[in-house]
Structure 1
């Protein structure tokens, strides 16, 4: 039930002032209904929606505020900081799918280390990633995320992108533990690492084929390679549906390519006259089936 209105009404519904500017391509002017330019000059992030209910109405706005703070270098107004700390637990009421999407965006941002640190500082991370949050302050975790951020920023400059499994790999690699005293096959090691990964990122639900590839990358770092790794991950990857727009359906195409099965004519004798009777060709698929 989207509400459509004027550009000014839309601007008033934005979460933060720095996200409410409009650009007129006809004359190159910026349109500002919320005194957002003043906030840009002050380098501050101000909520347009009353803080008494903005974060309870949509808790993901707290994540957005901290992401803006990191990516712009602006400061949060004191009342925004206070409201985030007060409503931090509300982030746990968001759907798993939405939080999974937000974590994915953070990993791909090129500033994941700083953003996760802000989420931890304001008390949100424990509700988003309860298990992973316990180890977020470990040096190896920070180093891995910083390396990922550097890699992503470099890729952006070159017009490339970093695969999702590489991002997850950097996220989980420092925290997977293998017991060297146990004699395990590559497949057994994979299943153990996959189990640990699911616990670490719970309740996030990224596609399993991305997790499998990430786990295989971790195993390759310690010299272990599964023979079925590639086939298993590819089998889980989403397949593109064939485009049948403007053509016959796949079923019709199959019928048009595969020739109809020919039935041998069987000669029958009329028990009374003794004459041989040739069966008639079926006229429809139903008749053919009955024969």
Structure 2
């Protein structure tokens, strides 16, 4: 496609990506923009990342750029670093022969590619791409776009379609099932029928993906501004069980409080992201695992005869441990998840200085926001508690004291009684 047909302008391309393309070309190599950035430019969307592909090897790329670092074992890539901006450069991928796969151990027994550093031509590279609209290559040398797999037609139809046999391609990399869902939601498309057909039956292959990689994928799924719709689409295709096995039994019913709670949290998260407000994965994971925690805590308390506090803490550790076997949650987030959960136990305790101490807790806001959504979903005493905290945190000191006094009267003087010193026995002798 010449420039007049695809409408991509260099003005819409990152200056750093252009620098990489020009330097590779000037050194005698072929280089192209490829994948999502070309697709998004053709859709009129501003790309977040610009990926480059070339016939230069990773070592040759490193020799051209002092600001280059080579990463990856499964996919050997070059990252050209411009401050916070990173341009990812890959070498054209080639095809593996079955003999090579067996000899070098590059594919698992399930057909999943474990190593992928066989280099080839641009035609082979295009065949190795996952979706048809990701096999379009923009050449800055003559301003053309080469479309190897009818990607423009897929865009016009609004379809997410795999290149090649869907079952084979999903087995090569099961994460492609998650990507298919993410692209369908992000681009407001549908998953083409042949591509969609094997997803449910192959969803269990996600159990073979390293937990650390799945954590990165879930961030893309739920923290891109369309988390609610993405969650529902994952549920539709039976992909949630491989990601959150403790949660899925609780959200089978469309009208369940568990599903309503998660969808509310995801909708709130989407609003914050789309309004350029900060979000943390910890809050989302705390929500996804809250009802599995409640259920497990009740079970521990009943079976072990523990008090509520001890059962809750043991259950929290169990639930996080089980989840990290599927999706690795870094400690900096799992610590915050626990804080949010523990605050759900502490926020009902408001007498004495506790309410004021709670306001100074570093995670109070996250705990309060979490309580607020729980109250909106469950109503009753929980909603009343959330409303009380809404008013208390914005009241002046005098009003706060009056609220605590009114609360004590309402509760009939409940709360921890003041300790009184026992009267001395008659005739006692103080040492």
* 8 Å contact kept, 1:131–1:202: no
Give me the whole-angstrom Cα distance separating, in 1, the residues matched to 2:267 and 2:138. Answer: 31
1:165 maps onto 2:282 in alignment: yes
Deviations 1:149-207 (A, max 9, x none): 3333333334343112122122223443255996455x774443332343456532212
1:213 maps onto 2:320 in alignment: no
Q: Where does residue 126 of structure 1 map in the other structure?
A: 241
Structure 1 residue 39: Cα displacement: 0.7
**Secondary structure in structure 2 of the residue aligned to 1:159:** coil
Structure 1 residue 5: Cα displacement: 4.4
Q: Where does residue 115 of structure 1 map in the other structure?
A: 230
Higher RCO, 1 vs 2 (CA within 8 Å, ≥6 residues apart): 1
Q: Where does residue 270 of structure 2 map in the other structure?
A: 153
1:42 maps onto 2:165 in alignment: no
Matching of residues 36-185 of structure 1 within 5 Å: 36-137=151-252, 139-177=256-294, 183-185=307-309
Q: CA RMSD in A?
A: 3.4
Structure 1 residue 108: Cα displacement: 1.8
TM-score (normalised: structure 2): 0.46
Unaligned runs of 5+ in 2: 1-115, 348-353, 363-431
Give me the whole-angstrom Cα distance separating, in 1, the residues matched to 2:200 and 2:216. Answer: 22
1:223 maps onto 2:346 in alignment: yes
Give me the whole-angstrom Cα distance separating, in 2, the residues matched to 1:2 and 1:125. Answer: 31
1:195 maps onto 2:310 in alignment: no
Structure 1 residue 6: Cα displacement: 4.7
Q: In structure 2, do the counterparts of structure 1 residues 117 and 151 end up closer, same or farther at CA, with 3 Å as the change threshold?
A: closer
* 8 Å contact kept, 1:66–1:118: yes
Structure 1 residue 16: Cα displacement: 0.6
In our comparison, the structure showing a higher alpha carbon Rg is 1
Deviations 1:57-89 (A, max 9, x none): 211111211222222221122211222234233
Structure 1 residue 129: Cα displacement: 2.7
Q: Where does residue 17 of structure 1 map in the other structure?
A: 132
Q: In structure 2, do the counterparts of structure 1 residues 52 and 213 end up closer, same or farther at CA, with 3 Å as the change threshold?
A: closer
Give me the whole-angstrom Cα distance separating, in 2, the residues matched to 1:151 and 1:24. Answer: 41
* 8 Å contact kept, 1:21–1:32: yes
**Secondary structure in structure 2 of the residue aligned to 1:22:** strand
**Secondary structure in structure 2 of the residue aligned to 1:131:** coil
